[in-house]
Amino acid sequence: MRETDRRTIMAGIGAGLVVAAASGACAAPRDRKIGYAIVGLGGYAELIMSKFAECEHARLTALVSGTPEKLERFGARYQIPPTHRYSYATFDRIRDNPDVDVVYVILPNSMHAEYTVRAARAGKHVMCEKPMAVSAAECRTMIDACRAAGRKLMIGYRSRFEPHNRLAIQLAREGFVGPTRIVTSEHGFNAQPNQWRLDRALSGGGSLMDIGIYSLNAVRYLTGEEPVAVSAIESTDRSDPRFRTVEDRITFLLRFPSGIEATCVSSYSSNHNAYRVIGTKGRIELEPATGYDGHKMFVNRDGRTEPRAVAAGKGQHAGQLDHLAECILDDTQPLVPGEEGLADLRVIEAIYRSAREGRRVQLDA
């Protein structure tokens, strides 16, 4: 986004959002489904669109893309009329579409702030993919924009709606294996070349922004605490053309107010997806922990390790879509609001700083 465009958009938060804010309460009639517009029709958006069939309270009503062929193809597949298909240039017209309640931003990270602000200015609630933005400052701008517009902002942390993760949170926080002392969380995959995630201008960073955020977010929701200090080490082979502008591996240690310590791994050159909560009486393990499917849980207590079966229930993707819809219908606060995304970005910035400066970084309360 050009700097002049960014200034124009951000300047509209104060004055331009007043009209949207004047619309009043966010509650909606309970006898209808909440309409979503999907912005950005890449691979993950294609998965999300397929999940509306599982939703009780949400439906797909509009599409936004810079590729006419995608608008035509997905519009036909999901019966979205031409009047409800938008380009990025015509996006702001969405304010006049009463079938759209929520704008779901599924774009490269550097575009999240712009389209969240524009959606709020159009009087729409927002679901934004993680990471929420490329800086904590942009996160605050997004929060302020939605607050000024009287609209809800939720971040797409789908794992918070996945049954195994929900049970792990419950067991860990209830002390099922005793008070938590250590958490390990490791996420990585072998990144393929020639994708926007490997371009810092679009992604804002490398593996940490993309997959490492799962390691970070997991230790935050498993402990229910915010870290007070971080130490990090980066390991990147700059001769690898994939990593010309972004990092490969970062290992980071977080310390929490209660004394819990968490060791986390973020990687673009190794495959792993797991976490372990270690208490005084045992441990809780998930592997895979935060994938799209195939989650497995094991619980060790008093020397015995057993698998823990979890009822499937509603899928995590449909669960998050319906959750925001219900929050709008009932005028309640989302489980993972913009402040959750801001909390992750604050820690991510500290992780990068620690790795860059080679020292431990304290986090403000």
Give 232's contacts (C-beta < 8 A, 6+ positions apart).
Answer: 250, 251, 252, 253, 351, 352, 354, 355
CA dihedral (233, 260, 166, 291) in degrees, to 10, reads 20
Res 14 pLDDT > 60: no
Q: Which residue has the tokens 């958009």?
A: 9
- The pLDDT-based confidence of 365 (bands split at 50, 70, 90) is confident
The whole-number pLDDT of residue 141 equals 98
pLDDT at position 31 is 78
pLDDT in tens, 85-131: 999 999 999 999 999 999 999 999 999 999 999 999 999 999 999 99
How far is the C-alpha of 151 from the C-alpha of 27, rounded, in Å?
10
For residues 274 and 266, the answer to whether their CB atoms sit within 8 Å is: no
Which residue among the candidates 104, 157, 214, 221 is catalytic per the annotation? 214
Hey, how many other C-beta atoms are within 10 angstroms of the C-beta on 44?
14
Q: What pLDDT score does 29 carry?
A: 64
CA 303, 308, 313: angle at the middle one, nearest 5? Answer: 165
pLDDT on residue 225: 98
Q: Answer yes or no: 115 catalytic.
A: no
- Do residues 256 and 226 touch, judged by C-beta distance below 8 A? yes
The residue type of 75 is G
CA distance 206 to 244: 10
Cα-based distances in Å from 335 to 156, 158, 161, 264, 272: 10, 11, 9, 24, 27
Residues in the chain: 365
Query: Which residues are within 8 A (CB) of 233 and not within 5 positions of it... i.e. 6 or more apart?
Result: 250, 251, 252, 355
Question: Which tokens sit at 14?
Answer: 């104060």
Strands 153-155, 125-128: pairing kind: parallel
Q: Pick the catalytic residue: 33, 51, 70, 130?
A: 130
Place of tokens 């490329």: 134
Number of H helices, E strands in the chain: 11, 15
237-274: per-residue pLDDT in tens? 999 999 999 999 999 999 999 999 999 999 999 999 99
Q: What is the pLDDT of residue 16?
A: 43
Q: Residue 7 above 50 pLDDT?
A: no
Q: Per residue in 135-181, pLDDT tens?
A: 999 999 999 999 999 999 999 999 999 999 999 999 999 999 999 99
Least confident piece of the model among 14-18, 142-146, 324-328, 343-347: 14-18
Mean pLDDT of the chain: 93
Among this protein's residues, is 296 annotated catalytic?
no
Best CA proximity match to 216, nearest among 133, 319, 340, 104: 340
